[in-house]
Amino acid sequence: MWSGRRWIAGWLATAGLIGLLWGCPTAERAKEEEGPVTLVFKHGQIEGNPAAFQKLLRQFEATHPGILVRDETLPSSSDQQHQFYIIGLEGGSADFDLLSLDVIWVQEFARAGWLRDLSPLFPPAARAAFFPGPVDAALFEGRAYAIPWFLDAGLLYYRRDLLEKYRLDPPRSWSDLAAAAQTVLREERDPQLRGYVWQGKQYEGLICNVLEVLWSAGAEVLDEKGRVVLAGAAATEALTFLRDLIGEGRVSPPMVTTADEETTRRLFGEGRALFMRNWPYAWVLFQKEGSAVRGKVGVVPLPHFPGHASAAALGGWQLGINRFSRHPKEAEALLLYLTSPEVQRTMAIETGYNPTRKALYEDPALAAAQPFTAGLRDLFLSARPRPVSPYYPMLSQIMQPEFSAALVGIKPPERALHDAALQMKHLLGEPVR
């Protein structure tokens, strides 16, 4: 039987760092409880306009007398945040109340018994107001253990000026993308220009990129019953296509196998790539004064294979409540406030965070302030969560080196998929044929 303890051994090497992140020891919190209730909210760095977020927290305090909020920022690395939570929650820590969760963590934490069941707070009627992908990621065995806070999804950026120069349409299929890249690279004869850049480094971003291509070919990792179905003809075709893009003089340069979001974002932003897969955050940066690509960029859904649909990996963050919190009702009030339409609208306008509520994408104030964000509604409606499983972090750790081995040419794609599927079946206790 799986337990959070199985993760602890792998994280102990960073325990010294994590220890520095604990904001308020239990003894200190006990003293505080003699006065107003102080809620501790752990989350990652707030981008955009952090002052606007602080103003929202102060407004909550003003409308909830007797409750104070202390927000404490964790490292930007989601891996380090994950480690922090596991070490604390495994020990039953009550030193924080509300926590932000990557969409891929909720199942794991819920199964371990670390999150408060929020089903009464987030019943099916309330869930209908949110995009379906993040809602699915917030559920475990039909019950809600988080509420979606903000979201992301992969999309394709392209140089509109270069496609128009050669009378090319934005690609709808992967073969369209490859053909357009080859045409522009041949005609431009610019040794600094790359065709298609994406995130192929061995980390979680690699999983998002590969799954988007696999899904767009009709392949799946798990079936509806949670059984491994990764090693199939569709997955082999998709991974082979991705591998064949890479190489000197090809559509994707070899550097994509070591690239992450910022590596590719900077390359595209310097005008040195025709196409790029990335998250919506990059758009605002490309439109800034002084950007080499300002006014030259377009975005469309990611391509797909014939007979299948475009697929975007769901990203983003959820809010959950520590099961060991001494103030669960107060934490529930803060959670409902932070995921309310009013707060999500303000966060979208002031910080650029993408709301999880569907109706906000038709909100006039948001459309006027952030027209690009407002235009992402259809993309978010079709965004797909990565395999929804309490074992997902371990499944990802299996897939990452196998996908990487295929992309750098160490293993044939078919073999890499077979080896990944075999290991995942062992993990999930499935019979191996």
Has residue 373 been placed in a domain?
yes
Q: Are residues 262 and 406 in the same domain?
A: yes
Has residue 262 been placed in a domain?
yes
Work out the average pLDDT over 36-47.
94
Q: Are residues 108 and 169 in the same domain?
A: no
User: Residue 8: pLDDT above 50?
Assistant: no
pTM of the predicted model, to two decimals?
0.88
Q: What's residue 160's pLDDT?
A: 98
Q: Are residues 195 and 287 in the same domain?
A: yes
Has residue 167 been placed in a domain?
yes
Q: Are residues 163 and 274 in the same domain?
A: yes
Q: What is the pLDDT of residues 176-228, one digit of tens each?
A: 999 999 999 999 999 999 999 999 999 999 999 999 999 999 999 999 999 99
User: Residue 274: pLDDT above 50?
Assistant: yes
Q: Are residues 283 and 406 in the same domain?
A: yes
Q: Are residues 138 and 209 in the same domain?
A: no
Tell me the CATH number at 268: 3.40.190.10
| Range scoring the smallest mean pLDDT among 24-33, 71-80, 108-117 | 24-33
Q: Are residues 61 and 94 in the same domain?
A: yes
Q: What is the mean pLDDT of the chain?
A: 92
Q: What share of the chain is helix, strand, coil (3-state, %, to 5)?
A: 50, 15, 35
Q: What's residue 33's pLDDT?
A: 54
| Range scoring the smallest mean pLDDT among 17-31, 35-49, 298-312 | 17-31
Q: What's residue 7's pLDDT?
A: 40
Contacts (Cβ under 8 Å, ≥6 apart) of 80: 14, 17, 18, 74
Has residue 336 been placed in a domain?
yes
Reported as a pLDDT band with limits 50, 70 and 90, residue 5 is very low
Q: Are residues 24 and 135 in the same domain?
A: yes
Q: What's residue 26's pLDDT?
A: 52
Q: Are residues 17 and 116 in the same domain?
A: yes
Q: What is the pLDDT of residues 223-252, one digit of tens each?
A: 999 999 999 999 999 999 999 999 999 999
Output the CA torsion sign for 162, 166, 172, 174: negative
| Count of structural domains within the chain | 2
Reported as a pLDDT band with limits 50, 70 and 90, residue 28 is low
What is the number of H-type helices and E-type strands within the chain?
Answer: 21, 11
How many CB atoms within 10 Å of residue 7? 18
Residue 406, domain extent: 155-311+391-428
Output the CA torsion sign for 36, 37, 38, 39: negative
